[in-house]
Structure 1
Amino acid sequence: MTQTPPADARFIPDTVHKRDIFSETVSGTLEGVPDFPVVLRKLDGVPVYARPVAWWLAHKEIRGLRAVQGIEGCPVLIRADRTGLLRSWTRGTPLQLAKPDSPAWYADARRLLREMRRAGVTHNDIAKPQNWLTTPEGRAAVIDFQLASVHRRRGRLFRVMAREDLRHLLKQKRAYAPGLLTPSEHRMLARKSLPSRIWMATGKRGYNFVTRRLMNWSDGEGTEDRIERDGPALRAAWEDHPDVTGVAFCTYARAAKGVGLYAFVETPLGEDALRAMAPDPAPDLVQPVTALPRHADGTPRLDALTLIAANRLDELETLVEGDPDLARQIAPIKSARLNLTDRDRGA
């Protein structure tokens, strides 16, 4: 389907992907338009104290999306109202999973940035590989316009920001297809803009100090410590109960609070009953499940459960692709998952 669906079509939610103080991101479909997947950035449940920032970000995204309508590889804005922002869902694989090494993909990505530049738009957040997608047709697509800027004048600031968008694309190319870099692209990567150099010398150091030292965000090291330290006593307490038939532990990054411990417990008991049995220190999240996904030898599928615990749904979809049995096993666990943040690595 290529036409934009009716703006007043009723949204039918399916999966909650992320929830934080600024919005809730929910994918779904539109009534009567089943072949046009959409995503709603829901804002009507944002706490009062966070609404000014939430709507400031939303207005930036709305303005950016309106400016890029018609550009192949950009989301389609369907409507924006008091509920939130509804746009098309872009089918594709995030860059860190797709790892494109085709010259055609990078040529298409540059085409996309050129068309955005002609529209006066800079994305400002494509240093994140998860904001780039490889579509099923092998084309480039970009998502998440919350930090995008629409420039009325094509002055120095616009040119600097557009150059930074391109330089960040080249950094992705260096990561996933370094052999494709041209001499001029190598030179561009070596020459950071003045604002970028200032940020690296000042702002980024302060950011790292605040997030890693003061807020205790994890960089991924030592994530198994909590399983080794707290897991045995928890496992013993739960598995001593006749209604518990399996336990699996995973870790995940907790924004501002380090590493969290997530317990999946195979049992008909409820969360309150499981927490009452748990010795201190208790897990941060405890999810009762009807059945744990298991390997052929009976051990839990920690690969799938870890992705659920960290709310890394794109990687989960890639894992279950071509494995309908695993997809069926994890579907109820995924839909009832307890971590709805997008901080999968914490840094």
Structure 2
Amino acid sequence: MSVPKDDDATLSARWSQGVLLKRDVFSTVERGRFRTDDGEVEGVLRRLDQVPFWSFAVALHLFSRERRALTLARDLDVGPKLLWAGRRALVRGFIDGAALHLAKPHGDVAYFRSAKAALRKLHRAGICHNDLAKEQNWLVGRDGRAYLTDFQLAACFKSRSRLFRIAAYEDLRHLLKHKRSYAPEALTPKERKVLAKKSAVASVWLKTGKKVYQAITRGIFNFTDREGGGRRLVNDAPVLVDLIRRNPDVRDTAIVAFADRRVGVGLYAFVEADQSALEKTLRNELAAAKGVKPPEHIQIVHALPRDAAGKPRTEILQLVAMNQIDLIEPMMRSDADREFLKDILEQRKNLRDRFNFEVAEMDRPAGQAR
């Protein structure tokens, strides 16, 4: 499928390509810059020109739902603003923040208070998101506020019908599930009751529709979406981690996924070891093992960034692999963290998708705004 000529003309004149964020059977999403009447701004482009023919009808339906929802939510300040929309492509504003599963706002009660307020504003406008179980659809802004993104499944209602109330209830319940994960002590008795009771529609969906959906998407379409990592992150990464750890010179490894313009989804292995020349040895060992495809990138690091429990901070490694370097700064807790990460950034392998606003991002003093 191709983008219509009028869409293509607009994008050619106003869009500057940047970092590929995601590519699947429903769309290609990338971050770049868009020229508006008031000047150039950061934006996110969703386009359908690389969607396979067999999923195009569904992709176009999802695209239309997002376009309508973003149009209605334009002035709510709870999600990205719609900057431009064509027939098979749209550009929404970029929100300066990281996805919930990357930011991990443990104990941040203020964040979940703002999330609830954002959801209330969305529902008052007659919009239900319908896909808030995914942590990647919740953003933690640099300002600490909650924002919503990816409105492909959103539904717009003209009245507060029974269906609207059910959808709104499920939106809230999914938000509270995230609150339970990150700030359980802040849950109120009323919120705990909501968590304990699914709507009848949700219960039926889990027992019937979801199973059919998974059978079609995973069985027929071979599509699995795990924070954009797909089947390679779900199936291949654990096997590769086990193979890499068998090398006696490897202390530990972490594998994350990144969007790749050539293969769709690539894998990036960060290997904790002392020998920088170990990469070639590991590639030979993985090739000899056959089976799963080796990672597109293997980077040897002296130490992996770790949290207080000693687990690798894959949320930071994910952003390194995706070249979203400017989003790492809010996650740094000290100058020591910045210095520690500097070597990893300087030696990173995935340099095809680079955004020039990354320059000197990690050298900015803590607390200084962009």
| TM-score, normalized by the shorter chain, greater than 0.5 | yes
Going from structure 1 to structure 2, the CA distance change for 1:185 and 1:142 (only over 3 Å counts) comes to same
Aligned residue type for 1:63: R
CA deviation after TM superposition for structure 1 residue 294, in Å: 2.6
Going from structure 1 to structure 2, the CA distance change for 1:141 and 1:161 (only over 3 Å counts) comes to same
Partner of 2:280: none
Conserved? CA contact 2:130–2:153, under 8 Å? yes
Going from structure 1 to structure 2, the CA distance change for 1:225 and 1:316 (only over 3 Å counts) comes to farther
Going from structure 1 to structure 2, the CA distance change for 1:76 and 1:330 (only over 3 Å counts) comes to farther
Partner of 1:193: 199
1:176-223 Cα deviation digits (max 9, x unpaired): 111111111111111211101112333345556777889696896995
- Spell out the pairing of 1:156-235 with structure 2 (5 A cutoff): 156-206=162-212, 223-229=237-243
Conserved? CA contact 2:34–2:42, under 8 Å? yes
Q: What is the number of equivalent residue pairs in this alignment?
A: 305
Going from structure 1 to structure 2, the CA distance change for 1:327 and 1:145 (only over 3 Å counts) comes to farther
Conserved? CA contact 2:67–2:85, under 8 Å? yes
- Spell out the pairing of 1:19-34 with structure 2 (5 A cutoff): 19-31=23-35
Conserved? CA contact 2:319–2:325, under 8 Å? no
1:24-48 Cα deviation digits (max 9, x unpaired): 1110112487773101012223233
1:121-147 Cα deviation digits (max 9, x unpaired): 000011112111121111111100010
Going from structure 1 to structure 2, the CA distance change for 1:91 and 1:60 (only over 3 Å counts) comes to same
- Spell out the pairing of 1:59-138 with structure 2 (5 A cutoff): 59-82=64-87, 84-96=89-101, 97-138=103-144
Q: Choose 278-287 or 307-316, whichever is displaced more.
A: 307-316
Aligned residue type for 1:281: K
Partner of 1:294: 301
Out of 145, 150, 157, the residue aligned to residue 151 of structure 1 is: 157
Going from structure 1 to structure 2, the CA distance change for 1:311 and 1:152 (only over 3 Å counts) comes to farther
Q: Secondary structure in 1 aligned to 2:350? A: helix
CA deviation after TM superposition for structure 1 residue 22, in Å: 1.9
Q: Secondary structure in 2 aligned to 1:54? A: helix
Q: Secondary structure in 2 aligned to 1:162? A: helix
Going from structure 1 to structure 2, the CA distance change for 1:227 and 1:186 (only over 3 Å counts) comes to closer
Partner of 1:239: none
Partner of 2:62: 57
Out of 39, 43, 49, the residue aligned to residue 44 of structure 1 is: 49
CA deviation after TM superposition for structure 1 residue 16, in Å: 0.6
Gaps of 5+ in 2: 1-9, 225-230, 259-265, 278-282, 305-311, 333-337, 355-370
Going from structure 1 to structure 2, the CA distance change for 1:114 and 1:308 (only over 3 Å counts) comes to closer
Conserved? CA contact 1:112–1:140, under 8 Å? yes
Going from structure 1 to structure 2, the CA distance change for 1:313 and 1:169 (only over 3 Å counts) comes to farther
Out of 340, 347, 350, the residue aligned to residue 333 of structure 1 is: 350
Q: Choose 319-328 or 59-68, whichever is displaced more.
A: 319-328
Q: Secondary structure in 1 aligned to 2:75? A: coil
Conserved? CA contact 1:94–1:314, under 8 Å? no
Q: Choose 85-94 or 280-289, whichever is displaced more.
A: 280-289
**Structure of higher CA gyration radius:** 1
Q: Secondary structure in 1 aligned to 2:172? A: helix
CA deviation after TM superposition for structure 1 residue 278, in Å: 4.1
CA deviation after TM superposition for structure 1 residue 78, in Å: 0.8
Conserved? CA contact 2:19–2:353, under 8 Å? no
Q: Secondary structure in 1 aligned to 2:328? A: helix
Alignment TM-score, normalising by the size of structure 2: 0.66
CA deviation after TM superposition for structure 1 residue 112, in Å: 1.2
Aligned residue type for 1:163: Y
Distance 1:20 1:222 in 2: 17
Question: Is it true that 1:10 corresponds to 2:10 in the alignment?
Answer: no
1:286-315 Cα deviation digits (max 9, x unpaired): 5378xx453279xxxx97799459966679
1:98-155 Cα deviation digits (max 9, x unpaired): 3253333222222211211121100001111211112111111110001000112321
Q: Secondary structure in 2 aligned to 1:90? A: coil
Partner of 2:6: none
Distance 1:212 1:63 in 2: 28
Distance 2:141 2:28 in 1: 24
Gaps of 5+ in 1: 1-6, 236-245, 255-259, 268-273, 338-347
Going from structure 1 to structure 2, the CA distance change for 1:177 and 1:227 (only over 3 Å counts) comes to closer
Aligned residue type for 1:143: T
Going from structure 1 to structure 2, the CA distance change for 1:151 and 1:183 (only over 3 Å counts) comes to same
Note the aligned Cα RMSD (angstroms).
Answer: 4.5
Distance 2:194 2:297 in 1: 52
Aligned residue type for 1:135: G
